[in-house]
């Protein structure tokens, strides 16, 4: 099971305040408390999931890290596919800035939102998702990438308002400026009021008399932007980075969506990755394995010399300390392991055959004859056959 987004777990918008998060957590905790859910097998995991989400979101530092790197930023390697199409209506409405608020009168910023007044301009833009492929070398040391992103950006002619001039706004005739439609349905149980954002003005409460010629009244136009993104070292496939406000511009001044950059690791020509470590297969000739040698091996940063000791066995792992990948959010670096493969030729010439046959007779090439002090395996073999 992939890990769910913490905001989703608590059902709070991304911009939720500490209080909202606390309240949402309490609600979930009550709902899924094991004492109350004796016959609901899912309750316990839901309870734990909520507790984990709260643990991160209540802490400003952890929350900021989570916002930037997702579960990958939390250590412990939680990977998940981003839920980029997630549309959260609470979130949308929380992004409307409150232009009717009292402002300075009470000293504070914001103040109380005034009842049913027209919501502020615009409809928020959608989040976007983009995948970038990174080489192991880029992952090992971190990299800054420039992304060409085709998206909606704010219309420059009308500065995002969608109108030709300031005077081109008029009160929406469908909703009379309230931004919402109320429908009362009478049933045998009583009257129900259904409130929905006005479809004519998308809840804005106003319409445009003369629409901007460049954007047709949307307040945004399609264009291409180059966006820089810093990828920290140590990321893995399906980790993602959220670039706040870098997604599609909103309609008529609505808040922009986020750009979610999903990481994909390219397969490497000769390295295999295992967490922070990388593995490399080295072919060594029989004489080199016996006599020892000094070889050049590729690393994630250029070539390096590596000593193969005399008597190196096939399959031996040689460790090149801290030549691996830097751990995410850490200064620690993994190692490069070099797996020694002693190369056994399949085709040989007659002269070579004579040399090898001579070796067959040689005392130190017969495992059963090797006086064993260092290798338990051979002594056990010897006792079986003698």
Positions in the binding site for Zn ion (CB under 5 A): 155, 157-158, 172, 174-175, 198, 200-201, 212, 214-215
Q: Which is nearer to Zn ion, 155 or 261 (CB)?
A: 155
Q: Which is nearer to Zn ion, 149 or 212 (CB)?
A: 212
Smallest gap from residue 169 Cβ to Zn ion (A)? 12
Smallest gap from residue 197 Cβ to Zn ion (A)? 8
CA 182/CA 326 separation, integer angstroms: 57
Q: Which is nearer to Zn ion, 123 or 215 (CB)?
A: 215
CA 181/CA 196 separation, integer angstroms: 5
Smallest gap from residue 258 Cβ to Zn ion (A)? 23
Smallest gap from residue 211 Cβ to Zn ion (A)? 8
Smallest gap from residue 99 Cβ to Zn ion (A)? 17
337 CB-near residues (< 8 Å, 6+ apart): 277, 278, 279, 280, 317, 318, 319, 320
H helices within the chain, ranges in order? 6-10, 18-32, 43-57, 60-69, 89-94, 136-141, 286-291, 350-361, 376-385
Strand stretches in 35-189, DSSP E = 128-134, 143-154, 169-171, 180-187
CA 60/CA 18 separation, integer angstroms: 9
Residue 162 near residue 252 (C-beta atoms within 8 A): yes
Q: Which is nearer to Zn ion, 17 or 159 (CB)?
A: 159
Smallest gap from residue 193 Cβ to Zn ion (A)? 17
Q: Which is nearer to Zn ion, 73 or 203 (CB)?
A: 203
User: Which of 99, 93, 118 is closest to 201 using CA atoms?
Assistant: 118
| Sign of the C-alpha dihedral computed for residues 380, 383, 385 and 386 taken in this order | positive
User: Which of 151, 154, 156, 131 is closest to 224 using CA atoms?
Assistant: 151
Smallest gap from residue 95 Cβ to Zn ion (A)? 19
Q: Which is nearer to Zn ion, 210 or 379 (CB)?
A: 210
Q: Which is nearer to Zn ion, 127 or 168 (CB)?
A: 168
């Amino acid at each position: 099971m992939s890990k769910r987004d913490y905001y989703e777990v608590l059902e709070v918008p991304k911009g939720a305040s500490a209080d909202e998060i606390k309240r949402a957590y309490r609600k979930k905790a009550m709902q899924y408390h094991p004492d109350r859910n004796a016959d609901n097998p899912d309750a316990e995991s839901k309870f734990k999931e909520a507790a984990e989400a709260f643990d991160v979101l209540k802490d400003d530092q952890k929350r900021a890290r989570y916002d930037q790197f997702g579960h990958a930023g939390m250590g412990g390697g939680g990977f998940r596919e981003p839920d980029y199409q997630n549309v959260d209506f609470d979130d949308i409405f929380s992004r409307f800035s409150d232009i009717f608020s009292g402002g300075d009168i009470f000293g504070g910023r914001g103040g109380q939102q005034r009842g049913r007044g027209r919501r502020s301009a615009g409809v928020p833009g959608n989040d976007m998702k983009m995948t970038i492929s990174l080489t192991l070398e880029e992952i090992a040391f971190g990299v800054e990438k420039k992304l060409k992103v085709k998206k909606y950006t704010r219309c420059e002619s009308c500065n995002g308002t969608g109108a030709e001039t300031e005077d081109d706004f008029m009160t929406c005739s469908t909703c009379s400026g309230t931004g919402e439609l109320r429908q009362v349905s009478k049933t045998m149980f009583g009257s129900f009021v259904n409130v929905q954002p006005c479809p004519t003005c998308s809840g804005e409460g106003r319409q445009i008399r003369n629409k901007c010629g460049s954007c047709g009244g949307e307040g945004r136009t399609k264009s291409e932007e180059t966006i820089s993104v810093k990828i920290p070292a140590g990321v893995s496939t399906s980790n993602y980075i959220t670039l706040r406000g870098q997604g599609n511009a909103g309609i008529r001044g609505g808040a922009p969506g986020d750009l979610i950059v999903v990481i994909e690791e390219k397969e490497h020509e000769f390295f295999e990755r295992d967490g922070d470590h990388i593995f490399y297969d080295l072919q060594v000739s029989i004489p080199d394995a016996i006599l020892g040698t000094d070889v050049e091996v590729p690393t994630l940063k250029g070539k390096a010399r590596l000593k193969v000791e005399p008597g190196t066995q096939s399959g031996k792992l040689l460790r090149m300390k801290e030549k691996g990948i830097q751990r995410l959010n850490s200064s620690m670096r993994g190692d490069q392991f070099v797996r020694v493969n002693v190369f056994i030729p399949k085709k040989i010439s007659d002269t070579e055959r004579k040399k090898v046959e001579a070796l067959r007779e040689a005392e130190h090439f017969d495992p059963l004859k090797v006086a064993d002090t260092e290798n338990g395996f051979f002594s056990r073999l010897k006792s079986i056959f003698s």
